Amino acid sequence: MKPAPCPCGTGKPFDQCCGPALAGARPAADAAALMRSRYTAFTLGDAAYLLATWHPSTRPAELALDEEPRPKWIGLRLKAHAKRDATQATVEFVARYRIGGRAHRLHETSRFVCEDGRWYYVDGDIHAD
């Protein structure tokens, strides 16, 4: 039986894509990989991973992913990945989801920083499409 593809949309199996990052076996290689793994964490309801990869300067004290209505994440598309220098990058993405059968889109340009060889989500600007 063929393994299920990773929720992030690369087409790779989860254990060869975002799985190792979520398990703590290896950090995301760059901001785009971190964005993909964070999307996957949202699809799996992994608040611990999301908080661990959120920069302490902007990280909330907690993250409630089980509140109703809970979104069903249905797709991710990375539109742009720009590395400003060795420690700063942005990723523009569109994440699609459903709530109560109704489709929604989150279009954001996120900022990331790299500290001690690990990438962290800092914050983002939501695009009004």
pLDDT in tens, 63-117: 988 888 889 999 999 999 999 999 999 999 999 999 988 999 999 999 999 999 9
pLDDT above 80: residue 1: no
* Predicted pLDDT at 125: 97
d(CA 62, CA 15): 27
* Predicted pLDDT at 67: 80
* pTM of the entire predicted model: 0.95
Beta 118-126 vs 72-85: how paired, if at all?
Answer: unpaired
Site of tokens 């799996």: 44
Closest CA to 41 of 60, 23, 22, 54: 22
CB 3 within 8 A of CB 15: yes
Instruction: Please report which residue ranges of the chain form alpha helices under DSSP H.
Output: 19-22, 31-44, 47-52
Arithmetic mean of pLDDT, 19-32: 96
**CATH tag for 14-56+70-126 (out of 3.60.110.10, 3.40.50.300, 3.40.50.720, 3.10.450.50):** 3.10.450.50
Q: How many CB atoms lie within 10 A of CB 77?
A: 12
